[in-house]
Structure 1
Amino acid sequence: MKFNDKIISLISLQLLLTTALFAQQQDAIPVAYDQTSTLVLQETIQSIDVGSPGVLVQRVNGFDNMLRLKAAVTDFDTTNLTIYAMSGAIYHFNLYYAAHPQRKVWPIAADDSLPIAPSQLSGQGSMQSKAQWVLRQTHPTIRKQHHGQLTLSVRNLYSSGGKLFFHLQIENTSALPFKIHNIRFYTTSRNAVKRSAQHEETRSPLLYYKPDAQSLVTQGGKADMVMVYDQFSLPRDQEGTFEVLETQGGRRLTLSLRHKHMRKAQTINNYPLNPTQP
Structure 2
Amino acid sequence: LYTNNGLLYFHTQVKNTSNVPYEVDFVTFKIVDKKVLKRTAIQEQVIFPLRAYNYATAVAGKKDERTVFVFDKFTIPADKMLVVEMHEKSGGRHQTFTVESEDIVRARVINELKVK
Q: Does TM, normalized by the shorter one, top 0.5?
A: yes
Equivalent residue, structure 2, for 1:186: 30
Q: Indicate whether 1:206 and 2:50 are aligned.
A: yes
Are the counterparts in 1 of residues 31 and 80 from structure 2 also a CA contact under 8 Å? yes
Matched letter for residue 266 of structure 1:
R
User: Is 1:170 equivalent to 2:14 in the alignment?
Assistant: yes
Structure (1/2) with the larger helix percentage: 1
Superposed displacement of residue 195, structure 1: 9.4
User: 1:197 and 1:229, CA in 2 relative to 1: closer, same or farther beyond 3 A?
Assistant: farther
2:66 pairs with 1:224? yes
Q: Which runs of 4+ in 1 moved over 4 A?
A: 194-198
Which 5+ residue runs of structure 1 have no aligned equivalent? 1-156
- How far the C-alpha of 1:197 sits from its partner, in A, is 7.6
1:249 aligned partner: 91
1:77-88 equivalent positions in 2, closer than 5 A: none
> Structure 1 vs Structure 2: percent identity of aligned residues?
30
Counterpart mapping for 1:99-248 below 5 A: 157-193=1-37, 198-210=42-54, 214-248=56-90
CA distance in 2: counterparts of 1:190 and 1:218, whole angstroms:
34
Q: Which residue of 2 aligns with 1:268?
A: 110
CA contact (8 A) 1:192 1:199 kept: no
Helix, strand or coil at the partner of 1:175: coil
* 1:103-162: CA deviation from partner (whole Å, max 9, x where unpaired): xxxxxxxxxxxxxxxxxxxxxxxxxxxxxxxxxxxxxxxxxxxxxxxxxxxxxx111121
1:238 and 1:195 mapped to 2: Cα distance? Answer: 18
Q: Aligned partner of 2:62: which letter?
A: G
Letter matched to residue 160 of structure 1: N
| RMSD across aligned positions (CA) | 2.1
Larger Rg: 1
Query: Which 10-residue stretch deviates more, 241-250 or 189-198?
Result: 189-198
Q: Which runs of 5+ in 2 are unaligned?
A: none
TM-score, normalised on structure 2? 0.88
